[in-house]
Structure 1
Amino acid sequence: MDPPRPLPSGAELPVRPGERITVTAKAKVSGDAFNGVRVTSPAFAADGTLRRDDSLLVAVVTVSCSSAPGSYEVRFAPPVGDENMPKIDTLWGSVRVSPADEAEQADCARRVAELPPVSQEEHWPDDGVWPASPWDVRSIQAGGQLKATDGLAMANDGEVTLSSPAFTRPVVMHGAKLASATVQIRCDAKPGLYTVHWNEQRKPAKIWARYRVTPAAPDCHDPAPPQASEPGQSTSWLIGGAVLAAAGAATYLLIRRQRGGSR
């Protein structure tokens, strides 16, 4: 399988039906090129999406098997769900589709069906807050810790709990202006991709982040669960309560007897 070919800015790229191409822009350079922006063209089987890859934004698109021969513009468009934001309609370049007969189109359809799906994972710089987006996939070794921060300031102090199958326990986000929490990954968590659920009071849960677990170190040990109180504190409280309850009951019976005898 041939790797996708790049389409440089301002260029026209000759392509075949079914071919995959990439559009790459530098992050934080163009106001119209940012994470989530769609890459569109009448020649594409579906829109592409610019996704962060360290300092770059990369979109992968497939030329439609039914595209007629000719030249087609490739443009940037607003992210899905953000069509009401300031309009984005930037010309990036163009593709020139070569002719294909019926047999070539049938072969194209077969090849496209065998293509792996385009990955939605994003790879943001490690020195930034996580997650920068729901698909900001950071790698963490089983047994390690990862700080989760609400970059959009949607969480109120103590009102959001983060949960995930690989966490040792759910954690509550705290912070006056920017809520955060440190999550601990279980030593026995299997390597792979995991989701983080955002559980906010009085609202439905949602997938908020993703991360990838790598194998644990041989000497990995999960930390002991936090203690709710000092050892013996709850026991002494219960004993004290029982003593007080018994004393109260005895006093009550004595008063009833005294009242009964005075009639």
Structure 2
Amino acid sequence: MALSGMAGAAWATPTVDPPRPLPSGAQLSVHPGDRVEISTEARSSADTRNGARVLSGAFKEGGILRMDDRLVVAVMTISCAAAPGSYEVRLAAPAGEAAAASDVGRLWGNVQVAQADEPTRAECERRVAALPPQSQEENWGADAPWPQTPWHVTSVRAGGELTAHDNSQLAGEGDVRLSSPGFTGTVVMHGDKAVTATARIRCDAQPGLYVVQRAEGGKPAQVWARYRVTPPDAGCHDPAPQAQVHRTMPSNSRIIGAASALAVAGAGIYVWLRIHRRATR
């Protein structure tokens, strides 16, 4: 019975067709509900960079180019309500960057949407609603300091260590604190031009995606980075908290006071010796 239930669940799982590539300068024939992918070398031009938007009247919603090692990739879905016809696909500056009102972005290509009747569009709506959310994670490659952006995700074993870099040159020495549910504790960033911090991941941190909160000075904390925890090595254990060693060191005032007392005592002995010598002559 359990096997039959599992088989039925497997058959009920909807299949998702891979996205269809749209090369630069091409025109692609599509149907409502199809997924379209743009993939190109990162930084090959000012338009093809991480965070650039992909826009078209044919899309259910615009896409965003995100780093995938040496490429930037975006996947968009053709709207179930898109009327038949040809639509331009353009690349625009990342959200939040100033752009001229007349700037419509760079023309990348075109999609030709096919005719669809109402039953087909209704089925399209059901199929698109069942699609998993498009991943926002970015892979900047093994050589890139982490994090490059809040969605630059790196993997670390539970019990392992993770080094964070702030290359904005805006952070001050000791002013930035990083915290996360997966850390063994809050860490403070240190450095000169670029500050860094090394955090240890708890051995009991469950596998999954975690966020890192960044707090600087009196400013509110904000999501600054993300990382993925994988299962720990066998025998993983967190180090015991180290007790602080307090050493009693003489203060400057005590040192100065002691030196003054010695000087006074020395002067007294000198005067006593002179009086004693006169008395014995």
Give the TM-score, by structure 1 length: 0.85
Contact 1:22 1:61 in 2 (8 A): yes
Moved over 2 A (4+): 83-88, 223-230
Matched, 1:199 2:215: yes
Q: Which residue in 2 is equivalent to 1:215?
A: 231
Equivalent positions of 1:161-180 (< 5 A) are 161-180=177-196
1:33-72 per-position Cα deviation (integer Å, ceiling 9, x unaligned): 1010000001111000000000110001000111111111
1:97-133 per-position Cα deviation (integer Å, ceiling 9, x unaligned): 0000111111111111111110111111111110011
Q: Which residue in 1 is equivalent to 2:93?
A: 78
CA deviation after TM superposition for structure 1 residue 82, in Å: 1.5
1:210-237 per-position Cα deviation (integer Å, ceiling 9, x unaligned): 000000001212123244325xx48x99
CA distance in 2, matches of 1:107, 1:151: 48
Matched, 1:120 2:166: no
CA distance in 2, matches of 1:228, 1:165: 24
Q: What 5-or-longer segments of structure 2 have no aligned partner?
A: 1-15, 251-281
Identity of counterpart residues, as a percentage?
Answer: 55
- The alignment partner of 1:211 has SS state of strand
CA deviation after TM superposition for structure 1 residue 88, in Å: 6.8
Q: Count how many residue pairs are aligned between Structure 1 and Structure 2.
A: 234
Equivalent positions of 1:112-191 (< 5 A) are 112-191=128-207
Give the TM-score, by structure 2 length: 0.79
CA distance in 1, matches of 2:227, 2:187: 16
Contact 1:144 1:184 in 2 (8 A): yes
Q: Which residue in 1 is equivalent to 2:245?
A: 229
CA distance in 2, matches of 1:47, 1:60: 9
CA distance in 2, matches of 1:172, 1:108: 50
- The alignment partner of 2:119 has SS state of helix
Q: Which residue in 1 is equivalent to 2:47?
A: 32
Q: Which residue in 2 is equivalent to 1:10?
A: 25
AA of the residue aligned to 1:77? A
CA deviation after TM superposition for structure 1 residue 96, in Å: 0.4
Q: What 5-or-longer segments of structure 1 have no aligned partner?
A: 238-263
